[in-house]
Structure 1
Amino acid sequence: MLIALAATALAAAGLIAYRSTGKAPSAKAIAAAALPAMAAELARAPSGFVLLAGDSHAAALHLPCNSVNVAVKGLKAHDVRSQLSRLPIPTEPSRVLLVVGSNDILRKHEPLRRVDDWAAEMQRTIALFRQVVVTAIPPLGGEAIGQFDPEAVRIYSQRLKAMCSSGGCLYVDPWRALRSKLFGEARSSVMADGLHPADYSAPAHELAEILCSKPAPEGVESVMAD
């Protein structure tokens, strides 16, 4: 699968960066080091492939159709836009999946004061492609709430929903089953850690029905953000 090659390229890029500097590389450094391998993979991508981009949530998704996954753990919205702007994509993907936002809602960055800037970055990224699917931000486990803002999960997701309702993208929430009564907080026992679900298979299956289908997605899937 093309998707496996992307993961190998990222692992190699991280190892090279670590050996050259003696410290763990940043997400941006890993993404930059992996650009040549990603470009080579995109050059081989068949017509109709799906492009996955974003953070560690996107990186964890596996689709049953031809796909290239260029997601990198730790990337923020502006990093994803920069990465995609630099990548040569000779064959236009049939769809592009964006899973972005978890790394933008650290409390220390005051995410509720930066909603407009974040939404503008997402809008610019969406404009790079014709068929874009964006997901809501996944909920947070209890151990992450001290560092990450669950209210920002709700508000940022609402902005994505409003953005897509105006056209240009399809908004979906494949993380619904993980959420508690509070949109930004996860139910107990469904997360591997504070940020990542224990099982990505159900979200991946739901997304595959949209991304791997032949007809282009139309309309907007709604989600209640309590």
Structure 2
Amino acid sequence: MLKQPRKFKKMLILPCLCSITFYLGSQMMTYTEAAFIHETKVEATISTASIFPKTVDQLIEQAKQHKEVILHEYEGMKSKLTVSSAQELEQALVIWKQGREKIATERESLQKVYKSIEEPYNQVQEELKGNGTESNKQVFSYVNAGFHIVKENCEYVDKEVNLQVIDKQIQDFEKLLVDETAKQVSEAEKQKELEEKKKQEEAKKLEEKKQEEAKKLEEKKKQEEAKKLEESKKQEEQKNKDSK
């Protein structure tokens, strides 16, 4: 058999080495891409499970607590709607203003709870569209249930307790208080005028009484003087008769 030249062998070996290198490189890239895809799927699964059933239960409980506080506070406020005096009106106004602040704070907290479960709810819903695995379905099941419970609590509060209605009632109380205060001031002024008039009438009567008494005293004095003068005259006449 004829021996092949060394130059020909080198030419044959070089393409083989290139083919092997390309094959190994392609295999490495395929593995890397597969690893990346797998990692992405794992991350998606983990992100859907980032909110656990216990967390959902806690958010539900927080929503219920905020709702109960709001409703209890509002019931206490409504019990002060009937007032019969300016003092009771002032007390009712204080209670309604303080209650309004507390309800507003609790509503903000309730809204935060809603946001805390709305975001994962939307996220899980989107992930389920592209990855409908059983685990994602399970996560969506309890997140969906919790989201709607929290939403129902928020909607119930919005229906039963309206801040605009509360503000309107506070304005009505303030107007009533202004009117009642003005009424009391007017009545006080009238009472003061009546008392002043009464004092003037009493002073006038007292002065008239004094004048009447002084007049009677003067008349009595004149009568006594006239009587003395008459007696003196009689005595003088009798004396003249006796001297004759």
TM-score range for the pair, normalised by the shorter chain length = under 0.3
Q: Which has the higher contact order (CA 8 A, sep 6+)?
A: 2
TM-score, normalised on structure 1? 0.19
Which of the two has higher C-alpha Rg?
A: 2
Query: Could you say which structure has the higher helix fraction?
Result: 2
Query: Could you say which structure has the higher strand fraction?
Result: 1
